[in-house]
Structure 1
Amino acid sequence: MAIDRNEVGDQEWESALARAEVLRRLPNRPSPGEIADATAELDVSRSTLFRWLKAFREDQRVAVLVGRKPGRQRRGIDAFEPALKALVDEAIRTFYATPERPTLTRLWKHVCSACRHNHLTPPSIRRLKGYIATFDAEAMTRRREGKARADAQFLALPGEFSVKHPLQVVQIDHTKVDVTVVDPIERQPIGRPILTIAVDVCTRMVLGFYLSLEAPSVTSVALCLTHAIIDKTRWLADRGISLEWPASGLPECIHVDNGAEFHSRAFKLGCDDHNFVVSYRPPGAPRFGGHIERLIGTMMGAVHLLPGTHFSNVLDRGDYDSEGRAVMTMRELEAWLALEIIAYHSDLHRGIGRPPIAAWNEAIAAHPPRHVRDPLAFLIDFLPFEPRVLRRTGIHLNNICYWSDGFARWIGRCDDKVLVKYDPRDLHQVFVKLGGNYLMAPTRNPGRPAITLWEQKAALRVQRARGRREIDEETIFQTIAAQRALLDQATRETTQTRRLRARRAHLQPRPALPASAPADEPVIALPHFPVEVWE
């Protein structure tokens, strides 16, 4: 194999040129005298001369005449005899190339132990390292560190995901925010929220977002999309923000991953109804959502400056008390993110070479976006739904009865089940599709408090654990009221105990915390603080 010119020094290359000049002068069948003159001029043996002459005439390149360094030219594979090679290959396959990622030293000790058992001379760790270097690096990384790591290191990305006009492609994704939030009453930590965010690929404008303490769901997607399509002037004013966020309009294509919420019936039907094309990323390939992934990284980098941050990893966090230093409520974090997004719009974006807001204003002048007439109807289209029978007593859903005077003209005239949409954050009302339109129906008892689907399911679990098979509406609301009262009492008592302990801290040492909570200690869930629906 010829050596590349860039791999050799100038002196070695000059020597190769001199050898080529001598070899060019030799005829096809050199005489003994010509051979003797050439070997004397090059100061090599007869066999070396003929080896050079054969290689030069076959390859016609000077690089084949570059002198090679002494020693083995192929590392590793020629270093082992067949029995030792088979043993090392087996050790690499079953021990080294595994997700546990043992070190080279561990592999060497494993090979040495196997060699002693098979009466073979073990290789040195240096020779073993050289042999591993002959394996395909990408395949080895894939087996040891996984597909994502191998793709990030070895996968070529020559293409580019580009679009021609705004709202042609909108990417949506979720992430857990790297900051702990507190409740608005006691200012105690309640966990890390989930951020659902949408970005326009063409202009890099953030179209909308939604914060929630619940896991990603079709409801969070619906609220994020609703925020994306509406004019945000009133929404910003309600949060005391006087700056502009002009992004709004209906997208043509929604680009998402393969989360369950994006494959739900409600999401697909809503997209079909509003003429949205849904494009899914290939499974396990986050690079196909690079625009939203980079945006999330930018937003989380800014969040790390807030009190209560969790940083990017445990090492960066150190002994920082994220829960103890948390100060922001959900609504305050929501306003802070809005300001951060507005600042992001005005900053230079390296991907497009200009601020996103400038690109947006120019693009929508040439290609005005579509707008929705009724944002509430748009939100309803994406809410989860269940088919139900319209009874003379109303609609029964989640063991709760709903009634509207508008049902009267449909009683006894609906042969099929009707479509009932509901908001899991508030079961105080549902939306029933009758005659092509949605009719809002509150609970039959107007004195019922607003509850979440999570609270309703928790109440059912409590009652069924007590042996009650038949659960009525009254039992559900009584259980939820009792749980809320217990939670309020526990919260007050916890606050008083904390204050009393702080007052007595100088009188006695603090008691040691137990290693674990008693097994029979009741677990009380924190209440849900829903973010209001945008108008």
Structure 2
Amino acid sequence: MSDAFPDEVDEALWDEACRRADAIRDFLKSRTGRMSVADVALLATELEISQATAYRLIKLFRAGGTVMSLVERKPGRPGGHRVLDDRREEIIRTTISRYYLTRNRASFTQLVRDVQTNCISAGLRPPHRRTIKARLEDIDLQKRAKRRGETKIVKNTRAVPGVLAASRPLQIVQVDHTKADIFVVDEETRQPIGRPWLTLAMDVCSRMVTGFYLTMDAPSRLSTSLCLLHSVFDKSAWLREREISEAWPVAGFPDTLHVDNGADFRSQSFKRGCQDAGIAIDWRPPGEPRFGGHIERLIGTQMGKLHLLPGTTFSNAQELGEYDSKRHAALTLRELERYIALDIVGSYHHSIHASLGRPPIAVWREHEDVIPLRLPQDRMRFWLTFLPEQERTLRPTGIHLFGLRYWSAALTADVGRSNRRLLVKYDPRDMARVFVRRPSGNFVEARYADVTLPSVTLHEALAARRALLTKGRRELDTRTIVGTAVEQRKLVEAAVKKTALARRGPASRQKTRVEDGGWGSLRGVDSSKPVAFDEDTE
């Protein structure tokens, strides 16, 4: 668990590891028996490495099964460190935009020459061509083709409506988001808190729902990742927690994720996590929703079921009429999640699908024995890869996150040893535990410091915190606070004057008393001569 995550790896190292992973996957698929020396020699030639290195990489890939297992570790460079400085990065971006992404269609060789020339002119060391290629490949292929007027590539990167098909389950899985047509209420107050967002994943071949995620937050990398996690892992325990007895047999990596062009599907963390697991991502052409017809129809079906529930907003103003959605809202987020899950596994999966002419569950069962089930070899690491993260300082009292405090005995040895902030991974669906990366690089599980607390979602924790702050503001006595502050200010000013007077010494105090008349009237007395005082007078 001490290795870096995919999004922490240098660009050039990651690209090379991806290239090696693709070649080794193809190599292993085509050879089911024992490898010959000649076969390994061919692979070594293809990858431009020695035979010994080829054997080592094959062994690493068989053990890990991920792109990360092939990333070369360079001594002295921390994971995720970018090699180039900001000035050279800016030169690469500007040169690509100004000279390569144009109708003139400059070649890649010319682009490399232009970048290197511009860097040398600026007194900077020119980057390697692999680095320039990596930056170029970060740009969407279709976007590049449009800017360069390469109509053939644009055409080839567009799917034709109606032809998206899969020959077996998990070959293509579509994912999309929608704002649910219903208001939900708070767990405690039962007051409406808004409309949640639903993220759905569906297998194109069988039309089975592979997973979903319901949240009050707008679509993001988080909702996409949690939907994927729900899709990949076995759902038996998840169903038991929600007291659902129907089976949901879908699990395993999809070969390809078919998604739209939203920023959540474009995040580096999400892309690299999928690459690491061998999941390809196929982005739909922007502005053309018909390319996601399968998942769009499923979303429409699910929203239609919600229109039967209290608090529905229906799908348009005409259907809504005078119905007050907020006033009639009755279901909490948890209750709505269970309702949707019941509908998926108990109704949708067992009903005849219009396009298939059969229930989705029947199609899945038919192919179940031949589905190449791929599951994470390191389930915990795969899970942590897609969880959101924060950085926190380890205090003597533990890790503080979103107003909650966590502790693990394994953290005892790290308290006070370092000022370095630690990476904390958390699951917003269950905030009873978090995962903390220690300075040594290993992750440890930390749970509530107060073990009597129940498990809550992140949304519930934040809502409770807001409620406490609101209650505190209502209980403020502003007049008392201001009055106290004024009295404190007077006290400080008086103390400063007394201290300054005391530090000037006895002579100063005597002079002050004379000037102020503290000793009575001494005018006309020669102050250069000593003044005698009778003992009685003194």
TM-score of the superposed pair, with normalisation by structure 1: 0.50
Q: Verify the 8 A CA contact 1:170 1:255 in the aligned structure 2.
A: yes
* Distance in 2, Cα, partners of 1:199 & 1:338: 14
Is residue 212 from structure 1 mapped to residue 234 from structure 2 by the alignment? no
* Distance in 2, Cα, partners of 1:357 & 1:428: 34
Specify which of 314, 326, 329 is matched with residue 326 of structure 1: 329
- Aligned partner of residue 287 in structure 1, secondary structure: helix
Is residue 438 from structure 1 mapped to residue 443 from structure 2 by the alignment? yes
- Aligned partner of residue 214 in structure 1, secondary structure: coil
* Distance in 2, Cα, partners of 1:198 & 1:297: 14
Specify which of 335, 339, 350 is matched with residue 346 of structure 1: 350
2:468 maps to 482
- Aligned partner of residue 326 in structure 2, secondary structure: coil
User: 1:258/1:229 Cα in 2 relative to 1: closer, same or farther (>3 Å)?
Assistant: same
- Aligned partner of residue 325 in structure 2, secondary structure: coil
User: 1:488/1:389 Cα in 2 relative to 1: closer, same or farther (>3 Å)?
Assistant: closer
2:250 maps to 247
2:190 maps to 187
User: 1:457/1:340 Cα in 2 relative to 1: closer, same or farther (>3 Å)?
Assistant: closer
Q: Verify the 8 A CA contact 1:200 1:206 in the aligned structure 2.
A: yes
Alignment of 1:139-158 (within 5 A): none
1:524 maps to none
Per the TM alignment, residue 371 of structure 1 is displaced from its structure 2 partner at its CA by 2.9
2:524 maps to none
* Distance in 1, Cα, partners of 2:222 & 2:373: 24
Is residue 282 from structure 1 mapped to residue 282 from structure 2 by the alignment? no
* Distance in 1, Cα, partners of 2:332 & 2:403: 32
Could you report, residue by residue, the CA deviation over 1:110-130 in whole angstroms, capped at 9, with x for unpaired residues? xxxxxxxxxxxxxxxxxxxxx
Is residue 421 from structure 1 mapped to residue 436 from structure 2 by the alignment? no
Could you report, residue by residue, the CA deviation over 1:234-265 in whole angstroms, capped at 9, with x for unpaired residues? 33233232222222222222222222222234
Specify which of 162, 166, 189 is matched with residue 163 of structure 1: 166
- Aligned partner of residue 289 in structure 1, secondary structure: helix
* Distance in 1, Cα, partners of 2:168 & 2:415: 49
User: 1:445/1:284 Cα in 2 relative to 1: closer, same or farther (>3 Å)?
Assistant: same
Per the TM alignment, residue 297 of structure 1 is displaced from its structure 2 partner at its CA by 0.7
* Distance in 2, Cα, partners of 1:450 & 1:160: 45
Alignment of 1:190-269 (within 5 A): 190-269=193-272
In structure 2, give the amino acid aligned to 1:241.
I
* Distance in 1, Cα, partners of 2:242 & 2:458: 27
Q: Verify the 8 A CA contact 2:392 2:424 in the aligned structure 1.
A: yes
User: 1:185/1:252 Cα in 2 relative to 1: closer, same or farther (>3 Å)?
Assistant: same
User: 1:389/1:298 Cα in 2 relative to 1: closer, same or farther (>3 Å)?
Assistant: same
Specify which of 297, 307, 312 is matched with residue 309 of structure 1: 312
Q: Verify the 8 A CA contact 2:229 2:386 in the aligned structure 1.
A: no
* Distance in 2, Cα, partners of 1:452 & 1:329: 13
Alignment of 1:444-523 (within 5 A): 482-483=468-469, 485=471
* Distance in 1, Cα, partners of 2:398 & 2:472: 32
Could you report, residue by residue, the CA deviation over 1:6-60 in whole angstroms, capped at 9, with x for unpaired residues? xxxxxxxxxxxxxxxxxxxxxxxxxxxxxxxxxxxxxxxxxxxxxxxxxxxxxxx
* Distance in 2, Cα, partners of 1:210 & 1:189: 20
In structure 1, give the amino acid aligned to 2:326.
E
User: 1:386/1:244 Cα in 2 relative to 1: closer, same or farther (>3 Å)?
Assistant: closer
2:141 maps to none
Structure 2 unaligned residues grouped into runs of 5+: 1-157, 476-538
- Aligned partner of residue 248 in structure 1, secondary structure: coil
Structure 1 unaligned residues grouped into runs of 5+: 1-154, 459-476, 490-535
Q: Verify the 8 A CA contact 2:216 2:459 in the aligned structure 1.
A: no
Specify which of 361, 368, 377 is matched with residue 357 of structure 1: 361
Q: Verify the 8 A CA contact 1:223 1:379 in the aligned structure 2.
A: no
Is residue 383 from structure 1 mapped to residue 383 from structure 2 by the alignment? no
Per the TM alignment, residue 352 of structure 1 is displaced from its structure 2 partner at its CA by 2.5
Per the TM alignment, residue 431 of structure 1 is displaced from its structure 2 partner at its CA by 1.9
* Distance in 2, Cα, partners of 1:232 & 1:210: 13
- Aligned partner of residue 336 in structure 1, secondary structure: helix
* Distance in 2, Cα, partners of 1:339 & 1:331: 12
Per the TM alignment, residue 319 of structure 1 is displaced from its structure 2 partner at its CA by 0.8
Q: Verify the 8 A CA contact 1:170 1:201 in the aligned structure 2.
A: yes
* Distance in 2, Cα, partners of 1:396 & 1:238: 28
RMSD value, Cα: 3.9
1:4 maps to none
Per the TM alignment, residue 210 of structure 1 is displaced from its structure 2 partner at its CA by 1.4
* Distance in 2, Cα, partners of 1:282 & 1:397: 39
- Aligned partner of residue 269 in structure 1, secondary structure: helix
* Distance in 1, Cα, partners of 2:171 & 2:199: 20
- Aligned partner of residue 163 in structure 1, secondary structure: coil
Per the TM alignment, residue 356 of structure 1 is displaced from its structure 2 partner at its CA by 0.8
Per the TM alignment, residue 232 of structure 1 is displaced from its structure 2 partner at its CA by 2.5
Per the TM alignment, residue 168 of structure 1 is displaced from its structure 2 partner at its CA by 1.5
* Distance in 1, Cα, partners of 2:274 & 2:374: 14
Specify which of 296, 301, 312 is matched with residue 298 of structure 1: 301
Specify which of 359, 370, 373 is matched with residue 369 of structure 1: 373
Q: Verify the 8 A CA contact 2:159 2:291 in the aligned structure 1.
A: no
* Distance in 1, Cα, partners of 2:315 & 2:177: 16
* Distance in 1, Cα, partners of 2:169 & 2:371: 7
Per the TM alignment, residue 191 of structure 1 is displaced from its structure 2 partner at its CA by 1.6
Q: Verify the 8 A CA contact 1:166 1:369 in the aligned structure 2.
A: no
Percent of matched pairs sharing the same residue: 51
User: 1:265/1:386 Cα in 2 relative to 1: closer, same or farther (>3 Å)?
Assistant: farther
Q: Verify the 8 A CA contact 2:161 2:290 in the aligned structure 1.
A: no
Per the TM alignment, residue 300 of structure 1 is displaced from its structure 2 partner at its CA by 0.8
* Distance in 1, Cα, partners of 2:178 & 2:262: 12
* Distance in 2, Cα, partners of 1:380 & 1:394: 21
Per the TM alignment, residue 275 of structure 1 is displaced from its structure 2 partner at its CA by 2.2
In structure 2, give the amino acid aligned to 1:316.
E
Per the TM alignment, residue 287 of structure 1 is displaced from its structure 2 partner at its CA by 1.7
- Aligned partner of residue 324 in structure 1, secondary structure: helix
Per the TM alignment, residue 183 of structure 1 is displaced from its structure 2 partner at its CA by 2.5
* Distance in 2, Cα, partners of 1:487 & 1:441: 32
Q: Verify the 8 A CA contact 2:424 2:436 in the aligned structure 1.
A: yes
* Distance in 1, Cα, partners of 2:415 & 2:189: 48
User: 1:168/1:239 Cα in 2 relative to 1: closer, same or farther (>3 Å)?
Assistant: same
In structure 2, give the amino acid aligned to 1:483.
L
In structure 1, give the amino acid aligned to 2:286.
P
Per the TM alignment, residue 375 of structure 1 is displaced from its structure 2 partner at its CA by 5.7
Q: Verify the 8 A CA contact 2:200 2:211 in the aligned structure 1.
A: yes
Per the TM alignment, residue 226 of structure 1 is displaced from its structure 2 partner at its CA by 2.3
Q: How many residues align?
A: 316
* Distance in 1, Cα, partners of 2:330 & 2:168: 41
- Aligned partner of residue 328 in structure 2, secondary structure: coil
Per the TM alignment, residue 268 of structure 1 is displaced from its structure 2 partner at its CA by 2.6
In structure 2, give the amino acid aligned to 1:380.
L
